[in-house]
Chain A
């Protein structure tokens, strides 16, 4: 039983990374009906930006204010810098092809993904980069006989917090109503005087920013990062999004955590399961698409955001 809970915690940790990446994915899809292939690479970009920040700037902050401020600084830096990158990507790769239809948009996103991956490789090199170990806190909590690294707990609560903030913005604010309206019918929203361009920009800023944040936390947690790691996360987040119900904020969260847990339990309990982890993931994707294309929280499909 202790092992089972431990595996559950392992699963929830992996799952909260998937969820953070999936939140940005899902939002972009909700509004643009675009599978943003570049999202995974923006995640990588975020983790490299956070790495650079930690290497160059965090020692200064840590000395003056303490370890956690350095960590917070890195997360905030990656969040903001990635928001900027998101705006740039939207301006360069998406806006010119909005009117051309959905397919050119997807192709453009795919191109952007390849470009970003190679740009990261050109700037930081093809080798693994390792987060400095003395700048990341290693404290752990004891809880019901389990030892939980504090960073794990922080990651989980941070992604939960982000989800609630996003949910609140979209459901309770006036701007959120505009976002929902755009998601439902872009032309109608334009006719009603909603600044659709602003909504789109908002989505393409917040999505990558969240991805960047996930990237830094991923780097801090696993320490080593590589230019091509985003592709895998992109695919997992995409699966999580489908699983939870695409375009649905709580759905992305539920889907991400659930995917992490399923993967971990299968790898932990099925003999030879470790080798088939990704196989399970995509089997789930196929099954959901066949039997429940709207995902777990699919009833709310009309309120896509």
Chain B
């Protein structure tokens, strides 16, 4: 009887200690995303992507030998709920947070994470001021910034396509004007070398319906390419009216142009052949990490994500995992320091390296073109 008890005791304690060794306390990482609200599809895809990424990390031994646990908070894509979601994640003691989609939604959350010293990695917030406005020590983003798009266009237009006479049109709003000004800035070296010339630089009034005055002026400037850096409703009208006026110059839209409504407003016959500067779409990513990730994602959900943004959410987790691994610590200051200095993080969209201010270095952009079916296709000249 006595020996039986002893055996049971030994057995139970063995199980207990055994468990201690293998079931380490998980590392909790928060995901704040618009699970409901008008961008719900983006948020839900982000959750699926981050969960698949977490499974991949756990299969390969977790972070510092500990499993990753994802805690999801819904910000419904509005700034008020964003603050609540951030508060919820902070009070649950997450080590770091991935947050969120939309610059104006991300901003209040970023302030809260900053105040509570939690590392925050944004995945769909491209406004320049998020990193350049005030200094944030715990804020990073895996997506690009509005100005890297201007740089990409300038290089592509001059070096790849050999377009000389460049027309830039924007809508005088923060995003559109920002991209236009950055494009102009990055074109300047080429202008000095005599390889490019800005023949048209003007804004149109958003919400108008008749752009014939601006388009007549555009046609008279006789450009090789026409870069429009604002939103889709005006872009649709502009493309249609220009083509109806007989203006055949190649149209390039920035990344707020391509969507279903742009195609509807402009009409499919006029959309075919228009270019877009755009983050690479998931189907065109082929890094080793991308192949691994999409195989796992497809096995679980049948297809790959249709939007580029959730991929950046998964990349945020890969970046955080590598940073914690490098820092050998889960203290926010150590993670933030490691994020700034690491050079070995591999993401789905390529290597993930951050600047001192938390922006991603060398964000990939790509040139896309609409095909006959009204779908975006990677353009290779």
Interface residues of A (CB under 8 A from B): 3, 6-7, 10-11, 13-14, 127-128, 130, 133, 138, 147, 149, 218, 222-224, 226, 229, 232, 263-265, 267-268, 271-275, 277-278
Contacts and interface: CB of A to CB of B under 8 A. Distances in A.
A255 B357 CA distance: 54
B67 interface: no
A51 to B, nearest CB: 13
Given A128-B261, A226-B233, A275-B172, A218 B213 contact: no
13 contacts: A10-B216, A14-B210, A127-B261, A128-B233, A128-B261, A128-B265, A222-B209, A223-B267, A229-B209, A267-B217, A271-B202, A274-B202, A275-B202
Nearest to A14: B210
B264 interface: yes
B207 A223 contact: no
The 4 closest A-B pairs by CB, nearest first: A275-B203, A10-B212, A267-B213, A264-B213
Interface string B257-284: 0000100110100000000000000000
A149 B243 CA distance: 13
Contacts of B216: 3, 6-7, 10, 268
Given A127-B261, A264-B212, A267-B214, A223 B205 contact: no
Chain B, interface residues (CB within 8 Å), range: 20 to 34
B233 A224 contact: yes
B220 interface: yes
B240 interface: yes
B202 A130 contact: no
A232 B203 CA distance: 18
B236 interface: yes
A265 B236 CA distance: 23
A61 B78 CA distance: 47
Contacts of A128: 233, 236, 261, 264-265
Contacts of B240: 223
B59 interface: no
A278 B213 CA distance: 13
Contacts of A274: 202-205, 213-214, 217
B237 interface: yes
Nearest to A140: B244
B208 interface: yes
Interface of B: 172, 202-205, 207-210, 212-214, 216-217, 220, 233, 236-237, 240, 244, 246, 261, 264-265, 267
Contacts of B246: 147
A268 B207 CA distance: 18
A29 to B, nearest CB: 24
Contacts of A264: 212-213
Nearest to A127: B261
Contacts of B212: 10, 13-14, 264
Given A3-B216, A14-B210, A275 B204 contact: yes
A133 B264 CA distance: 10
A7 B205 CA distance: 17
A273 B216 CA distance: 13
A35 B236 CA distance: 33
B223 to A, nearest CB: 15
A274 B170 CA distance: 10
A264 B205 CA distance: 12
A200 to B, nearest CB: 32
Nearest to A275: B203
A135 to B, nearest CB: 13
Contact of A222 (B202, B203, B204, B237): B237
A147 B219 CA distance: 15
A7 B213 CA distance: 6
Nearest to A233: B209
Contact of B207 (A6, A133, A229): A229
A274 B205 CA distance: 7
B265 A232 contact: no
- Residue among A147, A263, A275 with the highest chain B CB neighbour number at 10 A: A275
A128 B236 CA distance: 11
Contacts of A127: 261
A224 B265 contact: yes
Given A10-B216, A274-B203, A223 B265 contact: yes
B205 A275 contact: yes
Given A13-B210, A13-B212, A277-B208, A3 B220 contact: yes
A146 to B, nearest CB: 11
Nearest to B177: A275
Nearest to B207: A232
A275 B264 CA distance: 25
A11 B213 contact: yes
A133 B267 contact: yes
A281 B138 CA distance: 47
A9 to B, nearest CB: 8
B233 to A, nearest CB: 6
A69 to B, nearest CB: 23
Contacts of A267: 213-214, 217
Contacts of B237: 222-224
A218 B217 CA distance: 23
Contacts of B233: 128, 224, 226
B264 to A, nearest CB: 5
A84 to B, nearest CB: 26
A32 B208 CA distance: 30
